[in-house]
A and B are shown apart, each in its own frame.
Chain A
Amino acid sequence: MIIDSHTHYPFGEFKEMKNIVEIIRLARKFGISKLCLLGDVFHYGSYPNEEQIKETNDLTIELTRKHPDFLVGFCYLNASNDTDFCLREIERCVVQNGFKGVKFEISLNCRSRKMDAIMKKVTELGCVAFHHTWYKSTGKHEEESDPSDIADLAARFPDAKIVMPHLAGCGMRGVLDIMKHKNVYIDTSGAQPVSGIIEYAVEKLGADRILYGSDVVGRDFSAQLGRIYGAGISEKDRKKILGLNAQKLFKLN
């Protein structure tokens, strides 16, 4: 079983990929049985307003209703928006529409205490918080979080389930940052398929805390799965990373 825990379905500039049926066809070709949709986090820039957030989540709701067996929704949020709006949006997406968690991007560093009410809600609901993360030596956005920021968030909310995406972007330092925070998982999505980092993460975190993700549509299922199949790890660990961990964490059938 393969669950892709990190994909984005776009509107706007990627018009040729507008057809979700085409994305699902491609995913199935690789043996993928579910795609987690984290929303189009690029279309409205770094600081989407409330209407733009609603529009993004409306699209995810529409898609997950059309393909409930294949698509798993996550609620895109800009935590710098009004907190009450964020809480209502979580209610709408997670409680009313069965989304499995929320996704934060680069609009607010996760050390901000403005995150707290939202994280409290996420923890109460028992869903998952994805928070974009990267250790960048160039091109870092003003509010972008790095793995040390995620470690801070995890310490403040030890009962929350947090996914720190982009293993290759977080690097060894990022793995070490979250090592002691057992409530933090890491996904393998994005960046180049840099060799050795999966093995390192398995050694330091254990395979149970690692999820396969692709970052499609910016990336390709082939190269992103290739890094999992190419890693020198046990078959048991590979199966956990490819889908078993996501199935358990997101409570999927």
Chain B
Amino acid sequence: MIDVNVSFGNWPFQYFSQDTPAKLSKHLKKNGIDRALVSSSEAAFFPDPDVCNKKLEASLKNFKDLIPVPAVNPLLENWENIIDESNSKTVKIFPGYHNYSLSSECVEKMIEKLLKNKMPLMIQMRIEDERSHHPLCRIPPVPADDVIKLSLKYPNLPIICLCAYFAETVKLLKASPNIYADISFAETTNFLARLLRDVPAEQLLFGSHTPFLYTKAAVMKIEYAEAGTDIVEKITKTNAEKLFLN
């Protein structure tokens, strides 16, 4: 399986068992995950996310299965350098944590660059359930409507939404074929069968949101999914390969 939603680093509100790349790699393999797209958890709060990107890249350099994804803050002067200098196939943005709207001018400029470089955009819709945020650190989620507007404006830009709730996932994927979503936060009874009633498998990606969530939760969502093997193959592997690994 390819996991498109993994983080590495420290976090103010949780301690993670997978606190070295070796532990993370071993943990993911044990859960049947062969490759993972990994971002720095620290980039959400750190003033310059590129410091976290560099640290992440150095940490993961001996682990071919852990593919670093740089974090970009388009409000900062170094966003273009991060995209130009990175070997990554994609970048991740944290609009809620970095405090800007997807309709900002800085986002437009960044997207033009991504389109030129043929790079999909990953959007961290949220990191934690808003109800459980620290009361003095309440970070707003990214509004689904803002993502939809962006996707309609840039139909050639693949947009990957991470940690969208079930209803948001349905709304996003129905709205536009260039929006994709991972399964980490999407949940309801018999979730995948119900999701597939409304959205095509081609827009779904396996994401566990490790280490914030128990990896096994996402794995069991797939193991017990009432869907054909071809559908599961798309969600757990081929959709991600097409987007990120070609």
A interface residues, Cβ below 8 angstroms from B? 16-17, 23, 26, 29-30, 134-139, 168-169, 171, 191-196, 216-227, 229-232
Determine if B188 and A168 form an interchain contact, defined as CB atoms under 8 angstroms apart.
no
Candidates A194, A196, A225; contact of B220 at CB < 8 Å: A225
Determine if A138 and B130 form an interchain contact, defined as CB atoms under 8 angstroms apart.
yes
Candidates B17, B138, B215, B224; contact of A221 at CB < 8 Å: B224
**Chain A residues within 8 Å of B217, by CB:** 193, 222-224, 226-227, 230
B interface residues, Cβ below 8 angstroms from A? 14-17, 128-135, 138, 185, 187-191, 194, 209-221, 223-225
Q: Known: A196-B17, A226-B217, A226-B221. Contact between A139 and B187, CB under 8 A?
A: no
**Chain B residues within 8 Å of A196, by CB:** 14-17
Q: Known: A136-B131, A168-B132, A222-B224. Contact between A230 and B216, CB under 8 A?
A: yes
Candidates B16, B131, B133; contact of A195 at CB < 8 Å: B16
Candidates A138, A226, A232; contact of B218 at CB < 8 Å: A226
Most A-side CB within 10 Å, residue of B14, B210, B220, B225: B220
A191–B213 Cα distance when bound, in Å, is 11
**Chain A residues within 8 Å of B187, by CB:** 192, 219-220, 223
Determine if A226 and B212 form an interchain contact, defined as CB atoms under 8 angstroms apart.
no
**Chain B residues within 8 Å of A219, by CB:** 187-189
Q: Known: A137-B135, A195-B14, A195-B16. Contact between A229 and B129, CB under 8 A?
A: no
**Chain B residues within 8 Å of A29, by CB:** 224
A16–B189 Cα distance when bound, in Å, is 11
Determine if A139 and B131 form an interchain contact, defined as CB atoms under 8 angstroms apart.
yes
Determine if A169 and B132 form an interchain contact, defined as CB atoms under 8 angstroms apart.
yes
Q: Known: A196-B14, A222-B191, A231-B214. Contact between A191 and B221, CB under 8 A?
A: no
A to B CB contacts below 8 Å, 8 in the list:
A137-B131, A138-B130, A192-B187, A194-B14, A217-B189, A220-B188, A220-B190, A226-B217
Nearest B residue to A198 via CB reads B214
A135–B130 Cα distance when bound, in Å, is 11
Determine if A23 and B189 form an interchain contact, defined as CB atoms under 8 angstroms apart.
yes
Cβ-closest 10 pairs across A and B:
A230-B216, A226-B217, A230-B214, A193-B217, A226-B220, A223-B217, A222-B220, A226-B216, A137-B135, A217-B189
Determine if B211 and A137 form an interchain contact, defined as CB atoms under 8 angstroms apart.
no
Determine if A195 and B219 form an interchain contact, defined as CB atoms under 8 angstroms apart.
no
Determine if A195 and B214 form an interchain contact, defined as CB atoms under 8 angstroms apart.
yes
Determine if A226 and B219 form an interchain contact, defined as CB atoms under 8 angstroms apart.
yes
Most B-side CB within 10 Å, residue of A26, A192, A194: A192
Candidates A169, A220, A232; contact of B189 at CB < 8 Å: A220
A219–B187 Cα distance when bound, in Å, is 6
